Amino acid sequence: MGKGLGDKLVLAISSRALFDLDESHRVYEAEGIEAYRQYQIEHEDEVLEPGDAYPLVEKLLGLNEQLGQPRVEVILVSRNSADTGLRAFNSIQHYGLGISRAAFVGGRSPEPYLRAFGCHLFLSTHAEDVRRALQSGFASATILSGGPRRAASNELRIAFDGDAVLFSDHSERIYQTGGLEAFQAHERDSAREPLDGGPFKPFLSALNRLQQEFPPDACPIRTALVTARSAPAHERVIRTLREWDIRLDESFFLGGLEKASILETFGADVFFDDQAGHCEKARDVVATGHVPHGVSNESQL
């Protein structure tokens, strides 16, 4: 066994984000934990259908084959016990996914173990687990069901919102308290002052390092910023990414226009946004991760 995961990009994912466990979850909600346990044991040889984050996981693991070395690690982290989690592992083996590590925490939040695994990103359908992970400093999102899957492709495309996701929510707070004019004046005056990093900065940085291992004209990873910002608030974003030495392949400054059509055209495999309203619209065209972080989510705490 290895002593650590080194400089790999590490994704931790819950079993319900990876596989469709809606039926067994209904058993849990209606009849309780013991009925759920028995249901999973009785069905553990039945292969689970892929869940909303399955295509993302499949493409991330596919990068290892393209690079000829293990540079991405996916770890199953689950509120299940090992007993009830056996069905998920059987399904992993059925699909040939390169996932060999898991944490089954028996009904508790897996958040304390993310640091031990050195995770860059945590995806789950359990909103409270995601909140705890964000509070502990990990890029985390609640995967929403309903997003259609992209056509089969070896290219991995990930889109990010800006404020409260890649960047801190400081500027968003100014917008929500002072309005658009105050926000634009602040961003214009602060154009040469880099934004503070948000919860997804470390994940984007790790993804960017992985991109650099491929030839520039043959990289299978493509990233995009899809933000409601527009001129003059664009300059600070551009200068911030330059200061961070992070490359985004495409950037869209929409000035309040709907994001869904851009995301559909970009062909994102997943989109991360902090605002629930944006996520609800995006989920119709792309698998979407809600990032419950920052001022837009404080009323929900």
Enumerate the active-site residues. Answer: 161
**Beta-carbon contacts of residue 212 (< 8 Å; ≥ 6 apart):** none
- The helix-helix angle for 33-42 and 22-31 (nearest 10°) equals 150
C-alpha to C-alpha distance for 180 and 185, rounded to whole angstroms: 9
The tokens describing 223, both together, are: 């990233």
User: Is the CB of residue 289 less than 8 Å from the CB of residue 184?
Assistant: no
178: helix, coil or strand? helix
Residue 86, Cα to own-chain centre: how many angstroms?
25
Residue 228 CB partners (closer than 8 Å, separation 6+): 254, 255, 256, 257, 259
Task: Output the CA angle 60-62-65, nearest 5 degrees.
Answer: 135
With 0-12 / 13-18 / 19 or more C-beta atoms within 10 angstroms meaning exposed / middle / buried, residue 218 is: exposed
